[in-house]
Amino acid sequence: MTIKTANLGFPRIGKHRELKFALEAYWAGKSDRTTLLDVAAKLRADHWKLQKDSGIDIIPSNDFSLYDHVLDTAVMVGAVPAAYGWTYEKSGAQVELDTYFAMARGATGRAYTHENHADCGHNHEHEYGVPALEMTKWFDTNYHYMVPEFTRDQTFAFTANKPLDMFMEAETQGIHTRPVILGPVTFLKLGKTEGEFSPLDLLERLLPVYVRLLAELSAAGADWVQIDEPALVLDLTEAERQAYHRAYTALKTLVPNLNIMLATYFGSIGDNLSTVLSLPVDGLHIDLVRAPKQLETVLQNRPDNLVLSLGVIDGRNVWRSDLEKLLDRLEPVIAQVGPDKIQIAPSCSLLHVPIDLELETELDQDIKSWLAFATQKLAELDITGRALVSGRATVTHALAASSASAAGRRTSPKVHDPEVKARLATMSPALTSRKGGFQQRKALQEQKLDLPLFPTTTIGSFPQTSEVRKARSAFGKGEISDADYDAFLKSETETAIRWQEEIGLDVLVHGEFERNDMVQYFGEQLTGFTFTRHAWVQSYGSRYVRPPIIFGDVSRPAPMTVKWWHYAQSLTDRPVKGMLTGPVTILNWSFVRDDVARSTVCYQIGFAIRDEVSDLEKAGATMIQIDEAALREGLPLRHADWKTYLQWAVESFRLCSTGVSDDTQIHTHMCYSEFNQIIDSIAAMDADVISIETSRSKMELLEAFQTYQYPNEIGPGVYDIHSPRIPDVSEMVTLMTLARQRIGDGQLWVNPDCGLKTRKWDEVKPALVNMVEAARELRLAALA
């Protein structure tokens, strides 16, 4: 026995997005079940072979999913909510594929396919049929899982044994795998309950299903299973820790022959370590990229026969490793622990990185030489393994290449811009505060802007119609000229401005027709960013994204939005908001360089946006909105880390937003508005106006602002833009009336929940006409 290389999971989507196209064809009725399942099987076979050819010793199975692995688990244990029409008694053990997809996407109906909002990520109520399960972020990744739902009288039943099927499928291809399953405690903890009880109360009912699953795997010849329990890196209660004891004692006692590799990732086990080390498991995977320091404590406290899986290749980011440095770290550990007790692995599943760097033929050669995607990461793992087993001399060439790449990146002028660094050194409190306090600014802004009570506005984007998307793609392919594209965008913008004037909105927007995406549009104009052609990662289901890669110091060579704002403002006397994406959101939706702190990158982007704000102001903008949709979702997994994050996140926002004069009005927008725990940070951002999503919670989310006595202005969303439904006047008045019970009239704005890019004009038009009418009625009511 000697050191082994192990992989925890491979991306499912296919190098050429095969899974997406197969799923969408199936959903559209253009292909059948067999065709879809064949594509899926072929992807699995290809990926197993690729891992084997890469020299990986321990290859996972059941990491594949048609849609989502949490949904797979829910279906496997029979946690199918009644609405989807499946019960064990009625339907037998088989949960049909279409039931599975109904849970993922809602039952068939026109509203479902594109209902998931591009930016906010979470999904939404529907008008027809059965809605999909809720969706939310998988820990702190940008992958979204389907949230299992549990009732108080929840029962579980073992349906199909997908892990076993996958294991056997790989066996027939001559590949002996280590099946991956989502652990019972994390699974329950990720779910939501109907009524006041903890999902962990259901553990005893769930465990028999897991026992049977493991017993069947063991009987079929599996010797190890990887059980993912990423919840072990969260703050846990004593009851939750106890649940781990009960779960793993039961599994080990009842299936003693199957070895368990307990996988933790996305952070440090921290104060859960004594719990973890007392569990009767055979191996422990720890994330040493996110939490390198935990190695020391784990080594000191580990039981002698525990196999350690060291997660040393970054599964969350796209950078190539410095392998010589890594070997320097690993060699003493192996000397201490003994080679037969060590596995080396990526920090987590490779689900979160793109598949193959080789497809990127247009990337800058230097930048490309600093990157590693899933395929390249497996090669790194193999080289590291070989160096550890047979000596560095057996892989001299590969190690030299790795060192050369690391050295190149450390010194490249593409990465390091002395001017940006010098500017960062000028950070001072004066750069991050407005000149006057809010009340003083408010008076000046009122004078200058002369807005009515309950001013009406929208969040920025108007429908990205198929014509807009077609024009953009034609322009991208060089099929239409710069001038024609420009003229097209101008005419869209003009139509939007005229229409907003006509219906009587008070504060207008230009519509964002020129933007592909709220981060990419800016990244493409900033230095230090690069973009890929094929580097897709799964966001949810069949929706994949290509996050920008921030590789170097960030600056803004030229204005990015002034031209469009200026054009829009030239068409009207009403104020048009300048529209920007904030530094924290740009950071959180990108792959970020790992050679400096995230806060440093965020400040750099902050300076760049500050320059844009300043140019907009110089051009005459009286209002500038800086969206921070992702500020809240960037919160660290551990509560103890929140303070530091919020400190630099708020600081970055203030850096970009405070360079203006007091009579310039700064707006911000945030989608998800559960702000109770961070309301003081929201207040510390000191935006003059914040618009938030509140309509679906019936203004309950405003409570935080009320309790806190938030002094600045607020636009609580009155129109759920995630749904095609058109809200009527009275409904919006009712919502605003609820808002008025919590917030003073002089502080309130009237606006939708979010941008309107995913809606159709024939939905947006009547909704906004009603919204303007609602504001009029509110003004009358306020006078009375």
Q: Map the footprint of Zn ion across residues 669-708, applying CB under 5 A.
A: 671
Q: Which stretch binds ligand GLN (CB under 6 A): 223-231, 458-466, 586-594, 766-774?
A: 458-466
Helix residue ranges, H only, 176-237: 184-190, 203-219
Q: Could you tell me if 677 and 654 are in contact, meaning their C-beta atoms sit under 8 angstroms apart?
A: no
**CA-CA distance, 676 to 707, in Å (whole number)?**
9
Q: Map the footprint of ligand GLN across residues 269-298, applying CB under 6 A.
A: none
Q: Could you tell me if 88 and 157 are in contact, meaning their C-beta atoms sit under 8 angstroms apart?
A: yes
Q: Could you tell me if 493 and 511 are in contact, meaning their C-beta atoms sit under 8 angstroms apart?
A: yes
Q: Taking CB under 6 A as the rule, does residue 689 contact ligand GLN?
A: no
Q: Which stretch binds Zn ion (CB under 5 A): 148-156, 353-361, 546-554, 748-756?
A: 748-756
Q: Which does 349 bind (CB under 5 to 8 A by kind): Zn ion, ligand GLN, none?
A: none
Q: Which of 461, 464, 532, 569 binds ligand GLN (CB under 6 A)?
A: 461
Cα distance from N-terminal residue to C-terminal residue, the chain: 84
**CA-CA distance, 57 to 385, in Å (whole number)?**
10
Measured in degrees and rounded to the nearest 5, phi and psi for residue 433 equal -140, 150
Q: Minimum CB separation from ligand GLN for residue 20, in Å?
A: 22
Lookup: tokens for 304: 């002698």
Q: Could you tell me if 771 and 734 are in contact, meaning their C-beta atoms sit under 8 angstroms apart?
A: no
Q: Minimum CB separation from ligand GLN for residue 448, in Å?
A: 23
**CA-CA distance, 539 to 372, in Å (whole number)?**
20
Q: Which of 68, 72, 627, 753 binds ligand GLN (CB under 6 A)?
A: 627
Q: Which residue is nearest to ligand GLN (CB)?
A: 755
722 in active site: yes
Q: Which does 579 bind (CB under 5 to 8 A by kind): ligand GLN, Zn ion, none?
A: ligand GLN
Q: Which stretch binds ligand GLN (CB under 6 A): 189-197, 225-233, 637-645, 749-757?
A: 749-757
Q: Map the footprint of ligand GLN across residues 548-607, applying CB under 6 A.
A: 579
Q: Map the footprint of ligand GLN across residues 751-770, applying CB under 6 A.
A: 754-755, 757
Closest by Cα among 111, 108, 138, 110 to 122? 138
Q: Which does 420 bind (CB under 5 to 8 A by kind): ligand GLN, Zn ion, none?
A: none
Indicate the residue among 530 and 668 with the shorter CB distance to ligand GLN: 668
Measured in degrees and rounded to the nearest 5, phi and psi for residue 508 equal -100, 165
Indicate the residue among 272 and 457 with the shorter CB distance to ligand GLN: 457
Q: Minimum CB separation from ligand GLN for residue 671, in Å?
A: 5
Q: Map the footprint of ligand GLN across residues 512-531, applying CB under 6 A.
A: 512, 518
Measured in degrees and rounded to the nearest 5, phi and psi for residue 238 equal -60, -40
The conformation of residue 201, written as its DSSP 8-state character, comes to G
**CA-CA distance, 751 to 741, in Å (whole number)?**
18
Q: Taking CB under 6 A as the rule, does residue 651 contact ligand GLN?
A: no
Closest by Cα among 226, 222, 229 to 203? 229
Q: Taking CB under 6 A as the rule, does residue 103 contact ligand GLN?
A: no
Total residues in contact with ligand GLN, by rule CB under 6 A: 15
**CA-CA distance, 654 to 727, in Å (whole number)?**
35
Q: Which of 754, 767, 775, 778 binds Zn ion (CB under 5 A)?
A: 754
Q: Could you tell me if 170 and 48 are in contact, meaning their C-beta atoms sit under 8 angstroms apart?
A: yes
The vertex-307 CA angle with 305 and 309, nearest 5°, equals 160
Residues 135-154: x/- map of binding to ligand GLN (CB under 6 A)?
--------------------
Indicate the residue among 164 and 509 with the shorter CB distance to ligand GLN: 509
**CA-CA distance, 31 to 27, in Å (whole number)?**
8
Closest by Cα among 301, 275, 298 to 287? 298
* 499-502 CB contacts, 8 Å cutoff, 24+ apart: 499/765, 500/458, 500/574, 501/572, 501/574
Q: Minimum CB separation from ligand GLN for residue 463, in Å?
A: 11
Q: DSSP letters of 321-390?
A: P-HHHHHHHHHHHHHHH-GGGEEEEESS-GGGS-S-GGG-TTS-HHHHHTB--HHHHHHHHHHHHHHHHH
Q: Taking CB under 6 A as the rule, does residue 720 contact ligand GLN?
A: no
Indicate the residue among 315 and 755 with the shorter CB distance to ligand GLN: 755
Q: Minimum CB separation from Zn ion for residue 717, in Å?
A: 8
Q: Taking CB under 6 A as the rule, does residue 315 contact ligand GLN?
A: no
Q: DSSP letters of 67-103?
A: S-HHHHHHHHTT---GGG---HHHH-SPPPHHHHHHH
Q: Which does 518 bind (CB under 5 to 8 A by kind): Zn ion, ligand GLN, none?
A: ligand GLN
Q: Taking CB under 6 A as the rule, does residue 126 contact ligand GLN?
A: no
The distance of Cα 367 from the centroid of its chain, to the nearest Å, equals 24
Q: Taking CB under 6 A as the rule, does residue 669 contact ligand GLN?
A: yes
Q: Taking CB under 5 A as the rule, does residue 251 contact Zn ion?
A: no
Q: Could you tell me if 283 and 249 are in contact, meaning their C-beta atoms sit under 8 angstroms apart?
A: no
Q: Which of 345, 459, 649, 682 binds ligand GLN (CB under 6 A)?
A: 459
Q: Taking CB under 6 A as the rule, does residue 472 contact ligand GLN?
A: no
Indicate the residue among 340 and 674 with the shorter CB distance to ligand GLN: 674
Which residue has tokens 């879809």?
36
Beta bridge partners of 180: 226
Q: Which does 461 bind (CB under 5 to 8 A by kind): Zn ion, ligand GLN, none?
A: ligand GLN
Q: Which stretch binds Zn ion (CB under 5 A): 136-144, 148-156, 189-197, 753-761?
A: 753-761
Which residue has tokens 């969303």?
717
Q: Which of 629, 685, 699, 735 binds ligand GLN (CB under 6 A)?
A: 629
- Among residues 117, 352, 534, 722, the one annotated as catalytic is 722
Measured in degrees and rounded to the nearest 5, phi and psi for residue 127 equal -90, -30
Indicate the residue among 286 and 671 with the shorter CB distance to Zn ion: 671
Question: Which chain residues interact with ligand GLN by CB under 6 A?
Answer: 119-120, 459-461, 512, 518, 579, 627, 629, 669, 671, 754-755, 757
Applying CB under 5 A, which residues contact Zn ion? 671, 754
Give catalytic residues, as residue numbers.
722
